[in-house]
Amino acid sequence: MSATANTTITYESLHRFTAEALCAAGVSEADAATTADVLTTTDAWGVFTHGTKLLAGYLRRLKLGGLRVRGIPRIVAHGGAWATVDGDAALGQVASVLAMRTAIAKAKQQGIAFVGVRNSCHFGAAGYYTWLAAKEGLIGLAMANDVPSVAAPGSRGAILGSNPLSYAVPAGRHAPLLLDMSTATVAGGKVYAARMRGEPIPDNWIVGADGRPTTDASIYPQTGALQPAAGHKGYGIALLIETLSGVLSGAAFTWRVGNWMWDDGMQPTNHGAAFIALDVNTIMPAAQFAQRMEMLVDEIHAAPLADGAKRLCVPGEMGWERHAHAMQHGITLPSDVMEKLESVSVETGVPLSFLKT
């Protein structure tokens, strides 16, 4: 079978295929289900760059040993409102779910909690973990570091990773506010796509070896680096993320982080991550907070629109609409995602029998 067009499948079928592919690689059923939850939910939000498209890359690392098939993330240190998780070089999603659930449990006792993760790997979409907190009525924050690919203002090359940041806030009758952002101006994948097409790019996407903006996508990532979002502001936020998820957690930071996509796949990457949960009920009654959040969202929705604008949205609103549609009608995967899943099927022997007719 060759994927030549978008393909619509059910959430359950995609989840099952993803979990079975991971199990075929030797991952436990529980860890496979956790990772499948993260990846499939991300696809349902319409964020296809961080969903099941990543499965092939994870399987490569599992096969070569850079990800431990039977790694067991565990809490190695803790106090009343904090903990440190060692990911044991297992799938990053498994360590991250453990960390956020630990933060949630501690926040319910202490009001707020911080959990750092070390010896992990790429964890997918940060928004999944903050959603875990929002589902239980807490405010969640999640962040992670990565191998440097983003310049700092004035640098000649990459200084920090694209270091993602997410927050989720329960909002009463509304879906949770959910922001999931990179601290780079643009995703590296968009630069790659332009490079493959031989097209120029906007001059605020990357800088060349001289540290100056360029429209030449062909130099990335060999000699080019992504520009930080909003210049010094994005750089400052990325540095905080590096501090919390890399330095404070005991993980690798900056160039000490392994490149999970492009290295030989045989060594752990020692990515870091950090998770914060805040129980609003310790500060004000949860029902009062929900009512106030509803007022805030309603106020934004009712604000005057600029000419040509159709609506005002809060972070995550369109993603939740895509999620609701996907759960009822299936997830429409782009052809490039299907091509990756076909390669997974060939490698693992798990059939692509989930196609929706």
CA atoms within 13 A on the CB side of 184: 25
Contacts of 252 (CB under 8 A, 6+ apart): 145, 246, 258, 269, 270, 271, 272
Q: Is 325 a catalytic residue?
A: no
Cis peptide before 148 (omega within 30 of 0): no
Instruction: Catalytic residue, from 15, 50, 78, 122: name it.
Output: 122
Dihedral pair phi/psi, residue 333, rounded to 5°: -85, 135
In terms of DSSP bridges, do strands 82-86 and 112-120 run parallel, antiparallel, or are they unpaired?
parallel
Locate the DSSP E strands across 121-224.
Answer: 138-144, 150-151, 158-160, 165-171, 174-181, 206-207, 213-214
> Which residue type sits at 92?
G
Q: What DSSP assignment string belongs to 227-290?
A: PBTTTHHHHHHHHHHHIIIIITTT---GGGS--TTTS-S-S---EEEEEEEEEGGGTS-HHHHH
Cβ 164 vs Cβ 49: under 8 Å: no
CA atoms within 13 A on the CB side of 84: 14
Q: How far apart are the first and last CA of the chain?
A: 14
CA distances (Å), 202 to each of 124, 190, 213, 214, 245, in order?
27, 11, 9, 8, 31
The secondary element (H helix, E strand) that includes residue 76 is strand 74-79
Tokens of 3: 């994927």
Q: What DSSP assignment string belongs to 280-331?
A: GGGTS-HHHHHHHHHHHHHHHHTSPPPTT------TTHHHHHHHHHHHHH-E
As annotated, the active-site residues are 122
